[in-house]
Chains A and B, each alone.
Chain A
């Protein structure tokens, strides 16, 4: 797989993978690589840990994406070609939800009415679960605006699933008119007996489990959201269509750990279950690329023979042996893992795997992201 080619040709790249593999930094590096190729790139992240903001030096929450300033980039030694832009946004579910209400409510009065409901206010506070819906919605919204050539989506941490893809699907199924009719019957329509019976079951179940009055409140809320739902459903299917098209690519990020292969293959399977194709695997923080390194023992002998007198250095080189052994073992196991990922990555129409190097520094600032973006663009 060639990440460099992806960031030059696609309009959406989705990064998924297990927690802790480096999705956020990889996403940011991909966006930077695209900008260096003269594209207007936006990285959307749903990372609740707000790491990307630190790396890019942007405020952690905001209503709009931040255009990373040329001066800030220049300080990190990055110069973008004409047309190249880097934008970033930390997705704030509350902001996205408010945007949905504003844009979709027929009138300002309707929007105010929705905001006034207790359920809406509570919904705003529930970050969990909302992230997944808002990710898809934000992707759609930014795509529609047409201000970006490429959007990189960093998916929320979730151990085993692609919730951000499942969530809109679940929502679309719930918002299906027949399902909704059971929860919030249209007062102007006479329901058929089947719907009426189902509505009765649901109402009883909700009242007994959630307490007196909840079913009514939910019904009012869903009723007032009514017209919005139709548009949200259209968006959910729009996102799906976009992700199914050849404009979009899914990459699965893995880091060198024992379970890496199993997890990467699991994610690929989940992507396939959703009717999509995983482009390939990225082995992040890989040692696989290093070769021709001098073992510390050889260095020590060479230096001693050359008249080196610093005993501390000679002792230190001796003590480096276990670390060097550990590194040699990792180089070997990372190469093996990369081969396996390549093999797995070629199945089902995928394009194999590629490695991104482990850096000697923490990837938490622009210069480090720049090194990674170079690796993305130069790996053949």
Chain B
């Protein structure tokens, strides 16, 4: 990997990780950072039709976006929600062109019920929509993927689908195109987000392995919300002994201290576990504000400073 590149320097940037790790904030911040570098960005949220709010697009002032087409969020930044049924409508109108047949098919209750009920068909809709978006005009498409299991499900889907569907068909062709894009190291880079706690780090590392097995290039792993501290080793040990030995009520700050100790352990595991060739990015916990919008802007500024391929782990200070 060339030194000095930005994290988002791929056509397709997949942001993934388990629920609650701050994926959405990182995805929005990557888009913000790329925008600041003069790039045209599409911010895409993989979601379902029943969701009526969009946390991702909410960072850009559109918490309740309407319609299925991309909308303008800011200069050079567009946003879109990728849903199964929007994808279904896209492929039905592409396959049937227009006219009576397309109308009849899209109005067919039986067909719609099938497409939403049959396992994998909702995901085929999602993938189809992603593929059509990739054919368009943005420098970067930043995708906020759903929680861990579903993300792997989504990227493993193409191979399964291609075994059932002839690649001569419209969908087969599009799925092949999607698979090519997802596995192309020059076009795609996944960013795995995790937190400085034991299980999230382990799951993050497993997710990285899972993606690699599916030939999805992983560009960076982000350790989000790493607490800052000023203790020396000796001070930590003295404090630990004091906390254990207290006869009276606990000390205020004990829980945060224990959390910090666990975070330090988890960070050590993260640093040791991230394989060579995948960049480590550590984002400190923002302790000046709890406002999620402000935090996203801070992280966006910080991510602009990150240049991949540096020999030492990248630490950014929002």
Contacts and interface: CB of A to CB of B under 8 A. Distances in A.
A328 B253 CA distance: 8
B120 A126 contact: yes
B199 A364 contact: yes
Contacts of B197: 362
B172 A211 contact: yes
For the residues of B in contact with A, the DSSP-based class is: helix
Given A313-B242, A362-B262, A292 B249 contact: yes
Interface in A276-296: 287, 290, 292-296
A4 interface: no
A176 B258 CA distance: 55
B282 interface: no
Contacts of A157: 18-19, 146-150
Contacts of B270: none
Contacts of A364: 198-199
A295 B121 CA distance: 56
Contacts of A324: 251-253, 256
Interface string B15-43: 00011110000000000000000000000
A67 interface: no
B50 interface: yes
A350 interface: no
A183 B239 CA distance: 69
A255 interface: yes
A236 to B, nearest CB: 11
Interface string B237-268: 11101100000111111111110101000000
Interface in A19-50: 19-21, 47-49
A262 B58 CA distance: 13
A89 to B, nearest CB: 17
Contacts of A179: 109-110, 113-114
Given A127-B153, A161-B50, A209-B91, A358 B255 contact: yes
Interface string A253-292: 0010111001000100010000000000000000100101
A76 B147 CA distance: 31
A210 B169 contact: yes
A47 B203 CA distance: 12
Interface string B101-127: 100110011110110111111110000
Interface residues on A, range: 35 or more
Contacts of A290: 250, 255
A66 interface: no
B252 A161 contact: no
Interface string A125-161: 1111111010000000000000000000000111111
B206 to A, nearest CB: 8
Contacts of B62: none
A201 B153 contact: no
A118 interface: yes
A324 B243 CA distance: 13
Nearest to A24: B199
A323 B260 contact: yes
Interface in B129-149: 146-149
B98 interface: no
A128 B166 contact: no
Contacts of A127: 149, 153, 156
B157 interface: yes
A316 interface: yes
A343 interface: no
Given A19-B18, A129-B120, A327-B253, A161 B48 contact: yes
Nearest to B250: A293
7 contacts: A48-B148, A205-B108, A209-B95, A211-B169, A293-B249, A312-B232, A364-B198
Given A126-B153, A209-B170, 6 more contacts: A18-B20, A20-B21, A166-B50, A210-B172, A292-B249, A310-B238
